[in-house]
Chains A and B, each alone.
Chain A
Amino acid sequence: GEDVEQSLFLSVREGDSSVINCTYTDSSSTYLYWYKQEPGAGLQLLTYIFSNMDMKQDQRLTVLLNKKDKHLSLRIADTQTGDSAIYFCAEAFQTGANNLFFGTGTRLTVIP
């Protein structure tokens, strides 16, 4: 079955870069996602990458995908206190089922 793993906690200083990592076991995923959950709120899609891409950049966000190692990462440049949240990686498959498989979530704390 699908297994998506993340480290639980990450702390960085404001202004530094954050790198959140994710590993997955099923190589047949089509899309991989990063969702952000702010305190007291639901998850919100932050960015995504198609499985035939290696990298995607969107302003302060850089997503790297290593399909060989089944490793996905999210880099946040110039991390701000507003970036403090839980970040989930998720994968989707070309099954038509439309459901996602979420990781355990990484709680990012930004220290002023």
Chain B
Amino acid sequence: DAGVIQSPRHEVTEMGQEVTLRCKPISGHNSLFWYRQTMMRGLELLIYFNNNVPIDDSGMPEDRFSAKMPNASFSTLKIQPSEPRDSAVYFCASTLLGGLAKNEQFFGPGTRLTVL
């Protein structure tokens, strides 16, 4: 298995532009998580889905952020409009709900977003 796939790996954009981050979870996994990592705030959970349904989006910072999971093999995190303070590394992770009790989450390599 290729693991969790994220694209792009790096994104540089200007303030005000729309940014779309993409994630393909591990095949067979039914829970997907979006995290944001910064030096100041560490690792923050933004939103997670179970069986393509958003369960908890309380970590989404503002209405400028939205996430979708149209099917079991694809999710997007969109920022519109983007701001410099959105600069961070965004991770996607997946796991199997109801699978091995140890609850391991598998992380993608991350997307490093820079908003100028």
Q: Which residues of A contact B (CB under 8 A)?
A: 30-31, 33, 40-45, 48, 88, 92, 96-100, 102, 104-105
B55 within 8 A of A: yes
B95 touches A42 (CB 8 A): no
Q: How large is the interface on B (under 10, 10 to 19, 20 to 34, 35 or more residues)?
A: 20 to 34
Q: Which among A45, A99, A105 has the highest number of chain B CB atoms within 10 Å?
A: A99
**In the bound complex, how far is the Cα of B52 from the Cα of A1, in angstroms?**
26
Q: Which among A33, A43, A92, A96 has the highest number of chain B CB atoms within 10 Å?
A: A43
Q: Which residues of B contact A (CB under 8 A)?
A: 4, 31, 33, 42-43, 45, 48, 50, 55-56, 91, 93, 95, 97, 101-110
A42 touches B93 (CB 8 A): yes
Judged by DSSP, the binding face of B is strand
The 10 closest A-B pairs by CB, nearest first: A42-B107, A43-B107, A104-B42, A92-B103, A45-B104, A102-B43, A98-B31, A98-B97, A48-B102, A42-B109
Q: Give every chain A residue within 8 A of B48 (Cβ-Cβ).
A: 98-99
Task: Choose from A40, A42, A96 the contact partner of B108 (Cβ within 8 Å).
Answer: A42
A2 to B: closest C-beta gap in Å: 11
B103 touches A31 (CB 8 A): yes
A104 to B: closest C-beta gap in Å: 5
A20 to B: closest C-beta gap in Å: 15
Q: Give every chain A residue within 8 A of B106 (Cβ-Cβ).
A: 45
Q: Give every chain A residue within 8 A of B97 (Cβ-Cβ).
A: 96, 98
B102 touches A31 (CB 8 A): yes
B94 to A: closest C-beta gap in Å: 10
B108 touches A105 (CB 8 A): no
A105 touches B42 (CB 8 A): yes
